[in-house]
Amino acid sequence: MANEKYLDNSNYDFYSINLGKIKPFTSSKIIEKKIYVNLEKLHPCFSDFSTFDYVIKSEGSNSVAKVVVIDTLLLVEYKNSHNTSYIKIEELKNKKCFLPKKQKQIKKVFCISCICFVILFLAFTFINKYKKQKMALENIPQIVEKEEEKQVFDIVDFIEVCLPIFSNSKIKVSYFEYNGTNNPQVTLHTSGIQREEIENQILSVHKDAKLGFSSTTYSDKTPHLSFTLNCDRQIIKTASFCDIQASFIQIRNSIFSVNGLPVSEEIETRQYQCIIPYNGLNTFFADLLKIQNEQKIRFEKLIFDYNQDIGNVNCIIVLDKLKCEEIIDFSNFLLVFKKPLEKTKVNEIAPKKEVEISDDKVLIGKMPSADGSVILYYRTSDGKIVYEKE
């Protein structure tokens, strides 16, 4: 032979064994076990007196083992006579077969080390390139447009700043509602003011305010319309249950102190309904402020339905389950809930009219009106509050 380390093909057998699909990082022991099972079928008289070495190659989607089998004694004699630690065969020209185990391990470690070195080198190169690109971008002058700070708009801002807009003697506010559940919102029913006036005046105070308007109707050339104003959520600092019952007792005492009329109270739904005379509103609003300070309650819903003809306000107050440090001062409502209409007194005393109570409504109380007459309040079968003069 031209090269003494190439073994004569008469001294060994060569096989190609299809091992199927082999998962990455499968251990050599599992691979050798599969080869051993196949050699017992393929190689005549394969036993412990025979030894083998192999190379794994990919053919399509399968892994194929190129296996060389040789008699163990013949292998030892060949290595001793040729003073070598390995042999080569024609079928595997670049493969050193039958290396000692230590050399195989050293070779394996060397290959793994080379792979790790390549991975680390590529990672280092990528990181270094990324840092250079980042530094280059940081050195580029940035033109940053300063964003205008968005105004926070809530119920307190509306009452303290925007509500006095409606204090003009020609403007009438008959209904106010604040709903602080999912999307906090204020609703007002007005007369004597046009839509563009409301928009211009509120947006001049809070440019980010979101407004919604109903259609404008006219009565004797006077505009009537409703509008809604979206508010931001109140900040809840303490997420614990407030004492609803204590708050109800204080609200009830305030109603009696101003000669108001309690309509209904329900702790389960946290709702209180009452009727307050105009001359008692100042005290009642001051008491609500005091209750907020003491109980730290938060209003979930507020409705003030004002009847200027009789001078009474139908109030619905729903308390929230959560406490809140933010308080609402209703004193500015006295600017828009104007004094009851004064009527000319008649010297002749009209005969007292008997009022019949129908079956579909229940009398809940009496209150004096602005002109001195007595107003009878009833609850209808569908829960509405209606009134008529006695």
Q: Which residue bears the tokens 């004002």? A: 306
Do 206 and 92 fall within a single domain? no
Q: How far apart are CA 184 and CA 181, in angstroms?
A: 6
The amino acid sitting at 98 is F
Q: How far apart are CA 277 and CA 313, in angstroms?
A: 6
| pLDDT confidence of residue 239 | 46
| pLDDT confidence of residue 349 | 44
Instruction: Report if residue 358 sits inside a domain.
Output: no
Do 200 and 336 fall within a single domain? yes
Q: Which residue bears the tokens 């093909």? A: 9
Q: Which of 327, 343, 359 is the last residue of a domain?
A: 343
Do 77 and 14 fall within a single domain? yes
pLDDT at 215 over 90: yes
Residues 222-270 pLDDT 10s: 999 999 998 877 666 554 567 788 899 999 999 999 999 999 999 888 9
Q: What is the DSSP-derived secondary structure letter of residue 160?
A: I
Pairing of strands 374-380, 361-368: antiparallel
Q: How far apart are CA 247 and CA 285, in angstroms?
A: 14
Instruction: Report if residue 370 sits inside a domain.
Output: no
Q: How far is CA 180 from CA 189, 200, 229, 238, 243, in A?
A: 18, 25, 12, 17, 19
Do 80 and 44 fall within a single domain? yes
Do 64 and 176 fall within a single domain? no
Do 197 and 286 fall within a single domain? yes
Residues whose CB falls within 8 Å of the CB of residue 377, separated by 6 or more in sequence, listed in order: 261, 263, 275, 363, 364, 365, 366, 367, 385, 386, 387
Q: How far apart are CA 52 and CA 97, in angstroms?
A: 9
Q: What's the whole-number mean pLDDT along residues 7-17?
A: 83
Do 262 and 188 fall within a single domain? yes
Cα dihedral value 99, 104, 107, 113, nearest 10: 170
Domain range spanning residue 19? 9-99
Task: Give the 3-state secondary structure percentages of the chain, helix then strand then coil, rounded to 5.
Answer: 35, 30, 35
List the alpha helices (DSSP H) in 49-206.
Answer: 72-82, 101-138, 155-157, 195-205
Q: What confidence tier does 216 reach under pLDDT thresholds 50, 70, 90?
A: very high
Please state the domain count of the chain. 3
Query: Got the DSSP string for 296-352?
Result: -EEEEEEEEEEETTTTEEEEEEEEEEEE-S-----TTHHHHSPPPPP-PPPSSPPPP
Question: Do residues 195 and 213 lie in contact, with contact meaning Cβ atoms separated by under 8 Å?
Answer: yes
Question: Do residues 54 and 68 lie in contact, with contact meaning Cβ atoms separated by under 8 Å?
Answer: yes
Residues 93-112 pLDDT 10s: 778 888 887 656 655 555 66
Do 110 and 191 fall within a single domain? no
> Among 41-45, 162-166, 306-310, 350-354, whose mean pLDDT is lowest?
350-354
Question: Do residues 69 and 13 lie in contact, with contact meaning Cβ atoms separated by under 8 Å?
Answer: yes
Q: Which of 138, 162, 190 is the last residue of a domain?
A: 138
The amino acid sitting at 359 is D
| pLDDT confidence of residue 240 | 57
| pLDDT confidence of residue 45 | 66
Instruction: Report if residue 144 sits inside a domain.
Output: no
pLDDT at 10 over 60: yes
Instruction: Report if residue 235 sits inside a domain.
Output: yes
Do 78 and 123 fall within a single domain? no
Q: Which residue bears the tokens 């794994």? A: 56
Do 93 and 109 fall within a single domain? no
Do 284 and 337 fall within a single domain? yes
Higher-confidence residue of 175 and 154: namely 175
Rounded to a whole number, what is the distance in angstroms from the first to the last CA of the chain? 134
Instruction: Report if residue 106 sits inside a domain.
Output: yes
Instruction: Report if residue 126 sits inside a domain.
Output: yes
Residues whose CB falls within 8 Å of the CB of residue 385, separated by 6 or more in sequence, listed in order: 263, 273, 275, 314, 364, 377, 378, 379
Q: What confidence tier does 141 reach under pLDDT thresholds 50, 70, 90?
A: low
Instruction: Report if residue 134 sits inside a domain.
Output: yes
| pLDDT confidence of residue 2 | 44
Helix (H) or strand (E) run with residue 40 in it:
helix 28-42
Q: What confidence tier does 139 reach under pLDDT thresholds 50, 70, 90?
A: low
Q: Which of 110-119, 140-149, 250-259 reaches the highest mean pLDDT?
A: 250-259
Do 258 and 298 fall within a single domain? yes
Instruction: Report if residue 2 sits inside a domain.
Output: no
10 Å Cβ neighbour count for 276? 23
| pLDDT confidence of residue 138 | 64
pLDDT at 6 over 60: yes
Q: Which of 84, 118, 138 is the last residue of a domain?
A: 138
Higher-confidence residue of 52 and 194: namely 194
Residues whose CB falls within 8 Å of the CB of residue 329, separated by 6 or more in sequence, listed in order: 156, 159, 160, 285, 289
| pLDDT confidence of residue 348 | 45
| pLDDT confidence of residue 1 | 41
Q: What confidence tier does 196 reach under pLDDT thresholds 50, 70, 90?
A: very high
